[in-house]
Each structure stands twice: as structure tokens, then as C-alpha cells.
Amino acid sequence: MKKIRFKKLRLWLVYPVFIIYPFVARMTDSSYWLGAGVMLLGLVVRFWASGYISKSRTLATSGPYAYTRNPLYLGNFILGLGVVVMSCNIWLALYYFVTFCILYVGTITEEQEVLEGKFGDAYHDYVACVPMFFPSIKAYRKAEKKPFSLKQSFKNGEFIRISGFLVLAVFMFLWYSFFVAKKGFDEASAIALILFVVFLFFLWFNIYIRRKSERKGAVDGA
């Protein structure tokens, strides 16, 4: 039986929703700002976690990894929850919770098998003490004393994700203002339009810098 590629499945189950999202969202002023606040919390969680993990190289146990084994996915969950809250659509909410459970339980299980094979007993002890998803109050007793690394966060592409979600949030504000609330072009819309261009530039710039750095690394390693 062919193994399910959960990360690829995400492309088919989640990303197409963003195409229809503006047309099915029932945003209000309250739902937009509440959703934006929840999205911001998700970005903070992801950014915090991304500064501690060197993917597939070392076992991350410091920072948020001392409280949950998957803080990046927890951040994703909060981000997605913010998008759903913003939409104010119960059917999107139900679809989101079901697909998140299917995709991420599968993804986490796949990754756990890899980590077990790579880190052995150290990972078994970590699994026994730290919850898979929702964080514990008590930190892992053997957690590394490792500081947050902004450089590592950049290497993990977190600046690209932050820029992308900021673009999405401002786009939804503009969509709501023009097509839902029909407020017309006012001062808030003008500011949002400027921010949209700025965040779009930062998104492009971060993608460009990261690809340039990856190409340089490939040449140096050749």
C-alpha cells in the first residue's frame, strides 16, 4: 500500500480553500480584528519555535520545545484558527478542524518515526515527558539551555511565512472594506493598501534572500 504523503495532501485539502475564502467569508468588524489577533498569536508562537530548531539535525528540547513536541504545528493551528474566526463561517470552521486533525496527526506520526530512528532513547525519554501538541505547564527536565537564534529563524524560512500571513491579513481587510462593508476608499483603506505593498515587498525580498543564500550554500558545499 502506497504511503500517504501528508504534506502533499495539504496542498489539495487546505490551499484551494484560500481561493474561495473571500467569497464564503462572512466577516464583520469584530470577527476581522479578533481573527487578526489570533493570527498574530500564532505567528508569535511559530517565530519563537523557529529560533530553536535545526530540522533533522539535532533534537530540539529548548524554548517552546520544552513544553510541547510540536510548537510549530501548534502555531499553525492558532494561525488557521485566526483565519477561521475572521471568516465567521461555521462550515469553514468544521472543515478546518477535521482537515487539521487528518493532516497533522498523520504528519506528526510520520516525523515521529524518523526522529525515533535518529535519536533513539533520547527521543523516547522526550516523548514520555513532553506532550505531543497542547503544551504542559511544566518544562522538560532535560531541556537544553539554548538561546533563541534569529539567524536560525531566518534559515527556517519564518520571515517568509510572517510576511505571507501579513499580506493575507491586509488583503482580507481590503476585501472586507471594499466588497463586504462597501466603505469605499477611505483613510483606513489607503493605509492598508500601503501596508499591503510593503508586506508584499518584504515577502519577495525574504524569498529572494533565502534562495540566494541556499544557492551560495550549494556552491560552497560542491
Q: For residues 174 and 171, give the distance between their C-alpha atoms in angstroms, rounded to a whole number.
A: 5
Residues of the chain with pLDDT under 50: 1-4, 219, 221-222
70: how many CB neighbours lie within 10 A of its CB? 23
User: Residue with C-alpha cell 504511503?
Assistant: 3
Three-point CA angle 48, 65, 9, nearest 5°: 85
What is the predicted pLDDT for the residue at 184?
82
What is the predicted pLDDT for the residue at 219?
46
CATH 1.10.3720.10 describes domain 16-146: no
What is the predicted pLDDT for the residue at 6?
58
Are the C-beta atoms of 165 and 83 separated by less than 8 Å?
no
How many angstroms separate the most distant Cα atoms in the chain?
61
Going from N- to C-terminal start, the domains of the chain cover: 16-146, 157-222
